[in-house]
């Protein structure tokens, strides 16, 4: 979300807007591409090669302060731990966060370990956030 207040998020949004214009929406795909390139290039620098197997092996060694929060690659499935949030669109068309659990979530890219309890909301958590 463009409205995240972390230093990494503000820096990313400012750079994105400077490059693509103030009216360009900052998408989750743009943010994902940004941090994925950073993770990959750190891995290339570490192993000194662009061999995919070497790069992938080294990507598991890094974390990156992405606009959404600190991300890392899960060695079990090669997807990244991400920060879930729910937001509402305000009158200006911006997303305002209404729920933030404050933790990054282990990726389950194939939805093989899922139950309805995974999607339930703890009302006390909503009140605290």
Nearest-5° angle of CA 20, CA 22, CA 23? 90
The strand pairing partners of 105, in sequence order, are 82
3-state secondary structure at position 77: coil
- Which residue in the block uniquely carries the two structure tokens 């995974």? 118
Ramachandran area for residue 93 (φ above 0: left; ψ -120 to 50: alpha; else beta): left
Residue 36 — φ and ψ, nearest 5°? -65, -40
Tokens of 15: 């750079």
CATH class of 7-128: alpha beta
* 88-119 pLDDT per residue, tens: 999 988 889 999 988 999 998 887 766 666 55
Q: Quote the strand ranges of 3-93, DSSP E.
A: 63-66, 69-73, 80-81, 86-89
Residues written for the chain: 129
Task: Answer yes or no: is pLDDT of 127 > 90.
Answer: no
CA dist 1 and 13 (Å) reads: 9
82-96 per-position pLDDT tens digit = 999 999 999 988 889
Mean pLDDT, rounded, for 38-45: 94
Domain ranges in the chain are: 7-128
């Amino acid at each position: 979300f463009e409205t995240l207040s972390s230093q990494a998020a503000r820096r990313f949004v400012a750079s994105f807007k400077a490059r693509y214009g103030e009216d360009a929406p900052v998408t989750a795909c743009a943010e994902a591409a940004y941090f994925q390139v950073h993770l990959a290039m750190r891995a290339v620098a570490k192993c000194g090669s662009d061999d995919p197997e070497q790069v992938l092996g080294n990507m598991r060694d890094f974390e990156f302060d992405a606009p959404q929060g600190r991300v890392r690659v899960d060695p079990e499935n090669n997807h990244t731990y991400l920060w879930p949030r729910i937001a509402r669109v305000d009158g200006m068309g911006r997303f305002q966060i209404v729920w933030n659990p404050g933790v990054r979530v282990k990726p389950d890219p194939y939805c093989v370990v899922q139950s309805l309890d995974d999607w339930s909301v703890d009302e006390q958590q909503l009140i605290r956030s």
